[in-house]
Amino acid sequence: MGENKKKIVTIVGARPQIIKASVISRAIAQYFSDFMKEVIVHTGQHYAENMSDIFFKELNIPEPAYNIKVGSGTHGSQTAQMIKGIEEILLKEKPDAVILYGDTNTTISGAIAGSKIGIPIIHIEAGLRSYNKKMPEEINRITCDHMSSLLFVPTSAGIENLSKEGFNIKNKGTASIDSPNIYHCGDIMYDNSQFIESHPQIESTILNDYNLKEGGYILFTIHRANNTDKSENLLNILSALVDAQYKTGLKIILPLHPRTRNKIDELKNETIVNNILNNPNIHVIDAIGVFDITELERKARIIATDSGGIQKEAYFFKKPCIVLREETEWIEMLETGSTILTGADRDKILLSIDQLLNNDSLSFPPIFGDGNAGKFICSKILSDL
């Protein structure tokens, strides 16, 4: 059987992609090891150990066979290096398909490299739209969708988006770039949240490490360029964070990517930095592993984030969420009232925190599938390509 296995190259580069890829790796190992072989490529888009290597270790998935080690850089420079490196690997490996996730520079680079040499592209998290093309992520996700042969869509809204763009959402049979197949499969991150919750033997000590009590803190995360590269936005969010601690009495925990920490240092605003560093109820920590961040999400009173993944995870764990962006791809969550968009507006952030904390009737209806997206995706790769 081994020689007849479909060879799949999975390309990841950012923390969330590694976590998403673990779902497919586990599904292959558990259900499809006789039929599929996976080769993992890491572009190195997130290159610090606590931003990548730790996730491979914690999620018990295979180490990458290749690491392009592209590192940081401008969009053009980073993407160009990735396309070159990925193309060389694909020409060597000659896979049956390439799996890509989400909307990063790694995603668009893999799509260009693979589709240009005739390798079918599989896009997981297809169909998502913010309808803001000023966001690099929007360009990446749209372009990748239109180069893909198999599109796996987490929500019904994503299916509608693709239909509006001219995709035949009823297409079946053998999939190709000219005749792609589209599936509403649910969200693989929901699969992952269930996996982590079902493995209590992997314990996190993060709450004890910072003397946090369940329901006694707000989890803040900030990393998007629109919030970190614009000093006004970053200051507004940090100011809201400080004021939220004083107004609510809840502790704050803020895990920071290395890049975001540097941006805060560049502000040279001693007042806001002192208000954060000198407040014993505000904990600024380094970026952490998947089990620690999941534990923080599960036990928080409320979450404020500009991360697409964390706003979903907040919903999975039935936590009210402030989204520090002007738009979100996950519009179904907004419709439930459990998630509120605020952008980097300090007053809106504070008002929304108060609103969510004092709403006892929030609901979290099931909108992200049944937790079996990974198995479904692998079965369709085998049947459709």
Give the span between the Cα atoms of 368 and 98, in whole angstroms.
24
Q: What is residue 49's predicted lDDT score, i.e. its pLDDT?
A: 47
Containing 339, the helix (H) or strand (E) segment is strand 339-341
pTM: 0.83
Helices vs. strands in the chain: H and E counts, helices first: 17, 13
DSSP string, 244-262: HHHHH--EEEEEE-HHHHH
Q: Measuring CA to CA, how many Å separate 352 from each of 210, 270, 302? A: 26, 27, 11
Contact 378/24 with Cβ under 8 angstroms?
yes
Is the distance from CB of 98 to CB of 114 less than 8 angstroms? yes
223 labelled catalytic: yes
| Gap between the Cα atoms of 158 and 152, Å rounded | 9
* Dist. CA 294–CA 273, nearest whole Å: 27
- CB neighbours of 2 closer than 8 A, spacing ≥ 6? none
Alpha-carbon span 53 to 66, nearest angstrom: 13
Q: Which CATH class is domain 206-357?
A: alpha beta
Note the pLDDT of residue 14: 81
Q: Could you say which of 123, 223, 257, 283 is catalytic?
A: 223
Token readout for 53 is 């290597």
Task: Map residue 297 onto helix, strand or coil.
Answer: helix
pLDDT for 60 equals 67
pLDDT score, position 48: 52
Class (C level, CATH) for 2-187+369-384: alpha beta
Listed in order, strand segments (DSSP E) in 83-192 are 97-101, 121-124, 150-153, 181-184
Give mean pLDDT in consecutive 10-residue pieces for the chain, a chain of 385 residues.
Answer: 82 86 94 96 70 61 86 84 96 98 95 98 96 91 98 95 96 96 95 79 84 97 89 93 96 90 84 88 89 92 93 94 92 93 96 95 91 96 97
Where in the chain do CATH 3.40.50.2000 domains reside? 2-187+369-384, 206-357
pLDDT at 197: 75
Q: Could you tell me which residues come within 8 angstroms of residue 227 by beta carbon, excluding any fewer than 6 positions away?
A: 233, 234, 237, 306, 324, 325, 344
Sheet holding 36-42, edge to edge: 66-67, 36-42, 6-12, 97-101, 121-124, 150-153, 181-184
